[in-house]
Chain A
Amino acid sequence: FPVGDTQKVLSEAIKDSVPVADIFYAFSALKNLGLQVDNAKVTSALTEALKKDDSPQSAGYGFFVASQLTGDTKKIFDSIEDVVAQADEVDDKYLQFEGGLYTTALVVDGAYKLAAKEKKAPTMSDDKVVKFANYFLSRKHVHQLRAAYQLVSVIKTLTDNQFHIPVAITLASPVAVTSSSPNVKVQVTNLLGGSIGSLTVTADSAKHISSEAIVLSKKPFTSKDSSTYELNFMQAKPVRGFYKIIISAKPSKEDKKLLGLTGAEVEVKVTTQVSIENVEIGVADKDQTTAARTTKVQYPGKASTVFEADYHQKIIVKFQLKDKADGTKMSAHQTFLKLTNQKTNQEIIFVADAASNKFDLDIGSSAGQFGHLSGKYSMELIIGDAVIENPFSWALGEVNLNFPEGQTPKDKGLDRYAKKPEIKHLFREPEKRPAAVVSTVFTFLVLAPVLILVLLWMKIGVNVSNFPMSLSAVGFHLCLAAIFGLYYLYWVELNMFQTVRYLGLLALPTFIFGNRLLSGIASKRKGEKKV
Chain B
Amino acid sequence: MLRFSLFIAICVCSVLANKRTLVLVDNWSIRETHSVFFRTLRDRGFELTFKTADDSSLALVKYGEFLYDNLILFSPSVEEFGGSLDVAAITNFIDGGGNVLVAASSDIGDPIRELATECGVEFDYEKTAVIDHLNYDIKDQGKHTMIIADSKNLLDAPLIVGSKNINPLLYRGVGMVADPENPLVLSVLHASSTAYSFSPDKAIDDYPHAVGKNTLLVAALQARNNARVVFLGSLDFFSDEFFTFSVQSGMSNKQFPKSGNEDLALSLTQWVFKEKGVLRVGAVKHNKQGEKEPPQAYTVFDMVDYSIEIEELKDGKWKPFSGQDVQLEFVRIDPFVRTTLKNSNGKFHITFKLPDVYGVYKFQVDYNRVGYTHLYSTTQVSVRPLQHTQYERFIYSAYPYYTSAFSMMVGVCVFSLVFLHFKEEPKEKKE
Asked if A237 is at the interface (CB within 8 A of a chain B CB), the reply is no
Asked if B421 is at the interface (CB within 8 A of a chain A CB), the reply is yes
A422 and B340 in contact (CB under 8 A), knowing A385-B133, A417-B369, A436-B396? yes
Asked if B295 is at the interface (CB within 8 A of a chain A CB), the reply is no
Q: Is the CB–CB distance between B413 and A481 below 8 Å?
A: yes
Contact bitstring A446-465, B, C-beta under 8 A = 1, else 0: 11011001000100011111
A439 and B396 in contact (CB under 8 A), knowing A100-B28, A338-B212? yes
Q: How far is the CA of A468 from the CA of B422 in the complex (A)?
A: 11
Contact bitstring B158-190, A, C-beta under 8 A = 1, else 0: 000000000000000000000000010000000
Q: Which residue of A lies closest to B205 (CB)?
A: A354
Q: Is the CB–CB distance between B400 and A443 below 8 Å?
A: yes
From residue 382 to 420 of chain A, which have CB atoms closer than 8 A to chain B? Answer: 382, 384-386, 388, 391-393, 416-417, 419-420
- What interface size band does chain A fall in? 35 or more
B residues less than 8 Å from A488 (CB atoms): 406, 409
Q: Is the CB–CB distance between A354 and B410 below 8 Å?
A: no
Contact bitstring B315-334, A, C-beta under 8 A = 1, else 0: 00000000001010100000
14 A-B pairs whose Cβ atoms sit less than 8 Å apart in the complex: A139-B33, A144-B32, A242-B142, A334-B194, A382-B194, A393-B194, A419-B340, A423-B337, A439-B400, A446-B404, A463-B422, A477-B417, A480-B413, A481-B413
Binding site for A on B (CB under 8 A): 27-29, 31-33, 35-36, 39, 131-134, 138, 140-144, 183, 193-194, 196, 198, 200-201, 203-208, 211-213, 240-241, 244, 251, 325, 327, 329, 335-340, 353, 355-356, 368-370, 387-389, 393, 395-400, 402-407, 409-413, 415-418, 420-423, 425
Q: Is the CB–CB distance between B338 and A421 below 8 Å?
A: yes
Binding site for B on A (CB under 8 A): 88, 90, 94, 96, 98, 100-101, 135, 138-139, 141-144, 147, 174-176, 210, 242, 267-269, 331, 333-336, 338, 347, 349, 351, 354, 382, 384-386, 388, 391-393, 416-417, 419-425, 427-428, 433-434, 436, 438-440, 442-443, 445-447, 449-450, 453, 457, 461-468, 473, 477, 480-481, 484, 487-488, 491-492, 495-496, 517-518, 521
A residues less than 8 Å from B338 (CB atoms): 420-423
Q: Is the CB–CB distance between A419 and B397 below 8 Å?
A: no
B residues less than 8 Å from A481 (CB atoms): 413
A495 and B403 in contact (CB under 8 A), knowing A351-B204, A423-B338, A424-B337? no
Number of A-B contacts (CB under 8 A): 211
Q: How far is the CA of A447 from the CA of B406 in the complex (A)?
A: 10
Q: Is the CB–CB distance between A462 and B397 below 8 Å?
A: no
Looking at A210, A419, A433, A447, the one whose CB has the most chain B CB atoms below 10 A away is A419
B residues less than 8 Å from A453 (CB atoms): 411, 415
Q: Nearest chain B CB to A105's CB is how many angstroms away?
A: 12
A391 and B251 in contact (CB under 8 A), knowing A90-B27, A427-B356? yes
Q: Which residue of B lies closest to A387 (CB)?
A: B142
A141 and B33 in contact (CB under 8 A), knowing A420-B327, A457-B418, A464-B421? yes
Closest 5 CB pairs of A and B: A384-B133, A442-B400, A391-B133, A465-B423, A423-B338
Q: Which residue of B lies closest to A354 (CB)?
A: B203
A100 and B27 in contact (CB under 8 A), knowing A393-B134, A484-B409, A487-B409? no
Q: How far is the CA of A392 from the CA of B337 in the complex (A)?
A: 55
Choose from B241, B339, B405 the contact partner of A141 (Cβ within 8 Å): B241
Q: Is the CB–CB distance between A439 and B399 below 8 Å?
A: yes
Q: How far is the CA of A442 from the CA of B404 in the complex (A)?
A: 10
Q: How far is the CA of A139 from the CA of B30 in the complex (A)?
A: 11
B residues less than 8 Å from A98 (CB atoms): 28
Q: Which residue of B lies closest to A457 (CB)?
A: B418
Q: Is the CB–CB distance between A139 and B32 below 8 Å?
A: yes
Q: How far is the CA of A480 from the CA of B414 in the complex (A)?
A: 10
Q: How far is the CA of A463 from the CA of B420 in the complex (A)?
A: 11
Q: Nearest chain B CB to A501's CB is how many angstroms away?
A: 15
Q: How far is the CA of A434 from the CA of B183 in the complex (A)?
A: 56
Q: Is the CB–CB distance between B143 and A386 below 8 Å?
A: yes
Q: Is the CB–CB distance between A449 and B355 below 8 Å?
A: no
Q: How far is the CA of A473 from the CA of B240 in the complex (A)?
A: 112
Q: How far is the CA of A252 from the CA of B239 in the complex (A)?
A: 41
B residues less than 8 Å from A417 (CB atoms): 368-370
Q: How far is the CA of A351 from the CA of B144 in the complex (A)?
A: 19
Q: Is the CB–CB distance between A462 and B403 below 8 Å?
A: no
Q: Is the CB–CB distance between B393 and A492 below 8 Å?
A: yes
Q: How far is the CA of A463 from the CA of B325 in the complex (A)?
A: 80
Q: Nearest chain A CB to B116's CB is how many angstroms away?
A: 22
Q: How far is the CA of A466 from the CA of B421 in the complex (A)?
A: 5
Q: Nearest chain B CB to A135's CB is how many angstroms away?
A: 8
Looking at B194, B201, B410, the one whose CB has the most chain A CB atoms below 10 A away is B194
Q: Is the CB–CB distance between B395 and A433 below 8 Å?
A: yes
Further 13 A-B residue pairs, CB within 8 A, beyond A100-B31, A439-B396, A462-B418: A384-B131, A423-B337, A438-B397, A439-B398, A446-B400, A446-B407, A449-B411, A450-B411, A464-B417, A465-B422, A467-B417, A480-B413, A484-B410
Q: How far is the CA of A487 from the CA of B325 in the complex (A)?
A: 54
A496 and B212 in contact (CB under 8 A), knowing A447-B403, A468-B421? no
